[in-house]
Amino acid sequence: AQTVTQSQPEMSVQEAETVTLSCTYDTSESDYYLFWYKQPPSRQMILVIRQEAYKQQNATENRFSVNFQKAAKSFSLKISDSQLGDAAMYFCAYRSGGNQFYFGTGTSLTVIP
Amino acid sequence: GAVVSQHPSRVICKSGTSVKIECRSLDFQATTMFWYRQFPKQSLMLMATSNEGSKATYEQGVEKDKFLINHASLTLSTLTVTSAHPEDSSFYICSALGYNEQFFGPGTRLTVL
C-alpha cells in the first residue's frame, strides 16, 4: 500500500519569510497525483497545489511551489513571503491511479508576526 | 471552483440514536465520494468510498452496519451513524471526486452524549 510521510509535526516561520514543508511517499505506480491541502482552524480542507507525476515541471500557485523529485519520491511545499493567514495544518496527499487517496499525518505551521 | 456542502455542520445526539449526515456536490456530478473521520490534531482517516449506484467500499476496521453509506444520486451521498455511542463522537468530512481531485465538504462535528 502507498504511504505518505510528513516528518515535521510542527514548523514555524517568520512573517514574510520562506518555509519548506517536507513530504515523502512510497509507491510502485508510475502514474499518480500529489497534493498539498491546507486545513485552517475552520477545518475546511483547501487545495493548495497539485502535481501530476508525469509532469517534470514543478507546480506553482502564486506564493506556493513544490519541489517534486520523482526518483526520490519527495514532494516538498515551499511557501514564500509567508502571511499570517498561512497558519494552518498542511497535509500532503497521494492519489493513486485507482482514485485512492492517502494522506500524511500533517504539519502544523505557525506564522510568527 | 467546485463546491461540496455538508449538512448538518454540527449535531448533538443521545447515545443509542441514529444520525444522518448529507454530502452534496453542488455544481458538478460526482460518481465517487469519500467519507473521512478526523480526530483532534490528527490526519484524515478514510472510512469508506461511496460510488453512485453501488455499495460502498469500507476500509478495514470500519463497521459497515454502524456506518451506513448511501450514494443514491450523482450529487448526494449520506452517512448514517446507527446506534451512536460516545466513542463515535468525532469530526466527519466528506469529499467528492471531480476533475481529478477531491473537493471537500466543511465537515460535521458529531457529539454523542
Per-residue pLDDT of chain B (113 residues; tens, 9 = 90+): 689 999 999 999 999 999 999 999 999 999 899 999 999 889 999 999 998 888 899 999 999 999 999 998 999 999 999 999 999 999 999 999 987 789 999 999 999 99
With CA atoms as reference, report the closest residue to A101 among B35, B72, B20, B92: B35
Query: Which residues have C-beta within 8 Å of that of residue A57, sequence separation ≥ 6?
Result: none
Buried b (16+ CB within 10 A) or exposed e, B22-34: bbbbeebebbbbb
CA distance B104 to chain A (A): 6
CA distance A52 to chain B (A): 10
At A46 the pLDDT is 94
CA–CA separation, B43 vs B63, rounded Å? 20
A43 touches chain B (CB under 8 A): yes
- The interface residues of chain A toward chain B in range 48-107, judged by CB-CB distance below 8 A, are 50, 91, 95, 99-101, 103-106
Element (H, E) at B46: strand B44-51
Residues of chain A in contact with residue B43, where contact means CB-CB under 8 angstroms, are 91, 103-106
